[in-house]
Amino acid sequence: MKKLTLALVMTLTLILMVLPAFADQIRPVVGIIQIVNHDALDAARDGFLKALAEEGYVDGQNMTVDYRNAQGNQDVLASIADYFVGAKVDLILAVATPSAQAVAGKTETIPVLGTAITDYVEAKLVKSNEAPGYNVTGTTDMNPVEAQIGMIQRLVPGVKTVGLIYTSSEVNSQIQARLAKAEIERLGLSWKEVTVNNSNDVQQAVTAIVAESDALYIPTDNILASAMPIVYEAAIAKKVPVVAGEANMVRQGGNFTLAIDYYKLGEQTGRMAARVLRGADVSGMPVEQQENLTYYINKTACDAMGIVIPEDLLPYAEETAVATSPSP
């Protein structure tokens, strides 16, 4: 009897020792691939993780998160995609269009959720927003571009020429620029544009375009979002107001926008991820969008340029520390 009891104790002890290792093996791994750091993309990622935690998936407890950032380097982005595919992670979150494109071409089996992506169809990530058909779906950050252009006409009386600046290789920026130009023309205004290839091009390009424009439009462009202080310096020197694609770009040097909340967009994506981890088929999950939009006004930048903020928009006006006059 004593031998039997001892054997049972030893068996139970062995099971208890093995269980944690076994749990690590079955714990789902979520890989996060991000093209570059800037506030909007970081907010989307943070919102994603918060929503997953609320759904019961907590990093380090019953889920493992592997976050990797390419810091704007396309070669590094491709290497991250290769790593996640080779590691056979359970789910990939692709933050921004270039990240999703890097992953989508390398796997047809690992579920991929995108966030901060403007147009999944145009980027060739899905067959349609309603029925993606492949292993990719997610949330779109498509902007109300027409309304954003309308804000220029309202806050900048007498505007005649709107300048556009964006990254030539970003599909998301190309789409928004096309919509912006159509709306500018519809309003009877003219436009000029300049494109950049990387962050090293921004200062020269923005200096040139503000010299030819009465106002500047910048879409949700990853390179430009990381360079808004440079944009502000050029814009304030010529007193050319900037309507930017999203809120954090306004806070870092733009003047105003009507846009989505990237943190909430990330939360929405996180809830989709929880469904996928529970067995939902990603190919049948429609691409989702955010319905609620908010005005964002950089009062500091507007005051510096002499822009009068309409009374109905004053509740959305914020003083900012970033938008300060550049040194002479």
CA atoms of 315 and 310, how far apart (whole Å) = 10
Q: What is the pLDDT along the chain (328 residues), one digit of tens a residue?
A: 555 455 544 554 544 454 444 444 579 999 999 999 989 999 999 999 999 999 999 999 999 999 999 999 999 999 999 999 999 999 999 999 999 999 999 999 999 999 999 999 999 999 999 999 999 999 999 989 999 999 999 999 999 999 999 999 999 999 999 999 999 999 999 999 999 999 999 999 999 999 999 999 999 999 999 999 999 999 999 999 999 999 999 999 999 999 999 999 999 999 999 999 999 999 999 999 998 899 999 999 999 999 999 999 999 999 987 544 344 3
93, two tokens: 């979150």
Looking at the structure, do residues 42 and 165 belong to the same domain, yes or no?
Answer: no
170, two tokens: 């970003």
What is the model's pLDDT at position 315? 96
* Within-domain flag for 111: yes
CATH number, domain of 310, equals 3.40.50.2300
Looking at the structure, do residues 20 and 135 belong to the same domain, yes or no?
Answer: yes
Reference 165, options 186, 196, 190; nearest CA is 196
What is the model's pLDDT at position 267? 98
**The amino acid at 28:** P
Provide the β-strand partners of residue 295: 258
* Within-domain flag for 225: yes
Looking at the structure, do residues 107 and 189 belong to the same domain, yes or no?
Answer: no
* Within-domain flag for 328: no
Strands 161-167 and 215-218, sheet pairing? parallel
Task: Tally Cβ neighbours within 10 Å of residue 49.
Answer: 22
Task: Tally Cβ neighbours within 10 Å of residue 105.
Answer: 13
Strands 136-140 and 161-167, sheet pairing? unpaired
Looking at the structure, do residues 70 and 210 belong to the same domain, yes or no?
Answer: no
Model pTM score = 0.81
Residue 212 structural domain: 145-259+293-318
277, two tokens: 């981890």
What is the model's pLDDT at position 73? 93
Number of domains in the chain: 2
Looking at the structure, do residues 186 and 309 belong to the same domain, yes or no?
Answer: yes
- Cα angle 261-136-60, degrees, rounded to a multiple of 5: 70
What is the model's pLDDT at position 3? 52
Helical spans, DSSP H, in the chain: 2-26, 39-54, 74-87, 97-104, 145-155, 171-186, 202-210, 222-225, 228-238, 247-251, 262-277, 299-305
Q: How far apart are the first and last CA of the chain?
A: 91
